[in-house]
Amino acid sequence: MNRTLSTLILAALLVFLIGPFLIIVGASLSAGDTLAFPPQGLSLKWIAKVFTVESFRDSFIMSMILAVGGTFVALLLGVPAAYALSRYKLPFGEIVNTIVTLPIIVPGIIVGLALLRYLVVPFSFSIGVALFLAHTALVLPYTVRVVSSSFNNLRSDMEEAAVLLGATRLGAFFKVVLPNIQSGILAAFILGFVTSFNQVPVSLFLSGPGVRTLPIDMLSYMETTYDPSVAALSALLALMSIGIVFLAERFLGFSRYV
């Protein structure tokens, strides 16, 4: 009885988690001209079409720049911040910790509106710069949190040992601390990359003529053209994410950090 129930719950869970993905993959393989499931016949033509749509290519590059560049900058800021938060008793450490986790809780749509109203409009930032800043800010909390847990697992006496052997504090950080949190940094990078790449609400507010991220571009494409190429693109992106997370789990034990 109990066993049947838990099997049912598990099955329902899998259907809800994997079902949409299977529908998208199915729809993308359709031979018909409209987005539909079950697919009308089988063909790869929509997957091929994805690569010929110019705006997809541009927005993909934009998304990659934001995801890679934004996460990189977020790490540059987040790693020292996480280090300070885990090593020192800062006067406002607890508050900073809370603030750092806020963007995870605050709906993206609010962040987007706020950035638009108080950054882009008054300072006339270009859309590209605003998007970059927004994505960096969005990813920062994730990097701080993931890297913090790496620091917390690393005993501070290792740095003291390095200092007593003649290293400076900074030298100890680069020679002893950094090599031992590499996998945490990589995990933070992957999480940040995926978060930024999939980001819709904030980007929605900050996208402008000629500058948009891939998810936003897909939305606007669907408004005008209701063909399966969006499904094909979604399936490709999902596969990319699965591939990244699979490799990360395989080589880093990603799930330890997230």
Partner 1 sequence: MSDRAFLSLENLTLSYGNSIAVDKFNLDIRKGELVAFLGPSGCGKTTTMRSIAGLLTPTAGRITLDGTDITRVSANKRNVGLVFQSYALFPHLTVYENVAFGLRLKRMSDADIDARVTAGIKSVGLSALSGRKPTELSGGQQQRVALARSMVMEPKVLLLDEPLSNLDARLRVEMRAELQRVQKETGVTMIFVTHDQAEALSLADRIVVMREGLIEQVGTPEEIYNNPASSFVADFVGFENVFALRGGKLATPGGAVALAEALPGDAAGLAWRPSGVALETGPFKGTVKSVSFTGNLREYLLETPLGPITAEVGAALPVHALGAELAFDLPLKAAAPLQRFA
Residue 126's identity, in one-letter code, is S
Taking the least distance from each CB to partner 1, the nearer of 182 and 220 is 182
Is residue 253 a contact residue for partner 1 (CB under 8 A)?
no
CB 150 to partner 1: min, Å: 13
Touching partner 1, residues 180-239 (CB under 8 A): 180
**Residue written as tokens 């720049």?**
65
Contact set for partner 1, span 146-175 (CB under 8 A): 155, 157-158, 160-168, 171, 175
Amino acid in the structure at residue 189: F
Instruction: Output the six-digit token pair for 237.
Output: 């992106």
Least distance in angstroms from the C-beta of 173 to partner 1: 13
Tokens 């859309």 -> residue: 127
Q: How many contiguous H segments (helices) and E segments (strands) does the chain have? A: 13, 0
Helix then strand then coil, % of the chain, to nearest 5: 80, 0, 20
Alpha-carbon span 244 to 238, nearest angstrom: 10
* Shortest Cβ 163–partner 1 spacing (Å): 5
**Residue count at the site for partner 1 (CB under 8 A)?**
17
For partner 1, the binding residues (CB under 8 A) are 155, 157-158, 160-168, 171, 175-176, 179-180
